[in-house]
Amino acid sequence: MEEVKARLRPSPEERERVGGVASKALNAAARALADLGLEGEARLGGSYAHGTWLAGHADIDVFVLLQPGVNLEDEGLKVAGRALDIMGAERVERKYAEHPYLSGKVGGIDVEVVPCYRVQRGQWISAADRSPYHTEYLLSRLTDAIRDEIRVAKAFMIAQGVYGAEIKVRGFSGYLVEVLVLKYGGLIELMRAATSWRMGEVLALETLPAGFRPQQQAGALIIVPDPVDPRRNLGAAVSAWSLGRFIASSEAFLEYPRGEFFERQAPLGKPLEPEDVAPNSITLIIEKPLEPEDILWGELWRTVRGMSRYLESRGFNVLAYAAGEDERTIAVSLLLDRLSCCRVELRRGPHIMMAEARRRFLDASGNKGPIWIDEDGRMFSTIIAGERSALDELRAAIRDPVRIIGASKGLEGVLRSARILQGMEALRGDESARKSLGGLAYGRQLA
């Protein structure tokens, strides 16, 4: 572990180079405020300000604190844009969290300029208002030894595919990792604790006020109160897949610790080859829309769940799904137990003792086939129909994807023109398709 810590620790030369860009960014944001005649201040935040960034992976967050009442999407973005312009930033992009911000590259380093409000603690207006308080809190608690532990924890989570709170990943944010490592004192201690976490467990770093009840977000498996705002659950964005991968990978590491856990995803079970899963798969490929990544992946995951539910309603059992991307396309592969089905269909009816419902069911079933009654007294109608293929079902569904599968409206256009490949065809398709099949084979949702 000491060797890994040394490798992840930024060198003095890198610290000096990144520090120069950070100073330039801070000065540019202050100058942008003056140029636009806005009252406010600029502060550094995130992993650079906390001193928890990994060697070779520096990024700089500049928070522009504006007076309440200023429009963050108007004046706030103007300040961000002016600051990046002063820095001579390249590849400037508009991104979204709960409100938009701008990012760009300066000297090869990612710089994000995030507008927020200058408010008293607890009087939050935007989600980003807490960030300066996060930095203030962590700087009062972090030591160099804990920073080393945070870096190895982040490296472990990056390698296992569970780092990042963005919708694409739905994993552990940098701040969540910092809080958890502070709570347990190190990565190994965090791993050991994680293997015993219970559903809905409250993992508080600070003592909670007497009688305090943290908010329960739907679907949140762990509750990690934010030390600067205990009502906020830092674990709310962590998906079951990401939490499960972290716990299972932690167990595997504790049983047999080795350096490769910090470099690549540890297989759970024995991985397959893409050729093994391709024969029972359907892969849908869309042209990548020009949308901010968080919006795009939120729409995509929602659409994939809709596709899965639709195929299951048509008699197909979707075992797993995974997504992959290249520069131009995004592919989603679904693994099914079979690609054609349902010559014989059973339609579930009421209990035989429910008189009115029984009569309606018999009338509706007519002479389409025999009526079966199971051991529990439940009625079923039997229909002999032609076999259906999952490929044909999905092709028909994407002609009207919003209505039929509940797809996101933002993806309607690219879905209507999507290509659908069955079986081994996908291995000869786009790189994104090969990646999504690799995700199915390896047990990861994103490749």
The answer on whether 112 is annotated among ligand-binding residues is yes
Asked if residues 379 and 394 have their Cβ atoms less than 8 Å apart, the reply is no
Asked if residues 179 and 206 have their Cβ atoms less than 8 Å apart, the reply is no
**Could you give phi then psi for residue 66, rounded to 5 degrees?**
-110, 160
Q: Please tell me the distance from the alpha carbon of residue 337 to that of residue 319, in angstroms, as a whole number.
A: 7
Asked if residues 393 and 387 have their Cβ atoms less than 8 Å apart, the reply is no
Q: What does each C-alpha distance from 172 to 166, 263, 418 come to in angstroms?
A: 9, 17, 32
Give the three-state DSSP class for 392.
helix
The answer on whether 368 is annotated among ligand-binding residues is no
178 Cβ neighbours under 8 A, 6+ residues apart:
50, 52, 138, 142, 150
Q: Please tell me the distance from the alpha carbon of residue 112 to that of residue 104, in angstroms, as a whole number.
A: 7
Structure tokens at 210: 């007497």
The answer on whether 337 is annotated among ligand-binding residues is no
The answer on whether 35 is annotated among ligand-binding residues is no
Structure tokens at 372: 């079966």
Q: Please tell me the distance from the alpha carbon of residue 19 to that of residue 147, in angstroms, as a whole number.
A: 17
Residue with token string 């160099």 = 144
Geometric angle at alpha carbon 139, from 137 and 140, rounded to 5°: 65
Q: What does each C-alpha distance from 309 to 272, 303, 312, 404, 414 come to in angstroms?
A: 25, 10, 5, 11, 20
Say what angle helices 187-194 and 144-159 make with each other, to 10 degrees.
Answer: 50
Structure tokens at 279: 């024969």
DSSP assignments along 317-383, one per residue: -EEEEEEEE-SSEEEEEEEES-SEE-SEEEEEEEETT-HHHHHHHHHHHTTSS-EEE-TTSEEEEEE
331, with CB counted inside 10 A (0-12, 13-18, 19+), is buried
The answer on whether 5 is annotated among ligand-binding residues is no
Geometric angle at alpha carbon 239, from 123 and 96, rounded to 5°: 50
The answer on whether 321 is annotated among ligand-binding residues is no
The answer on whether 154 is annotated among ligand-binding residues is yes
Among 418, 437, 441, which Cα is nearest to 428's? 437
**Which residues belong to the annotated binding site for Mg(2+)?**
59, 61, 112
Q: Which residues are annotated as a binding site for ATP?
A: 47, 134, 154, 163
Q: Which residues are annotated as a binding site for CTP?
A: 47, 134, 154, 163
Pick out the residues of the known binding site: 47, 59, 61, 112, 134, 154, 163
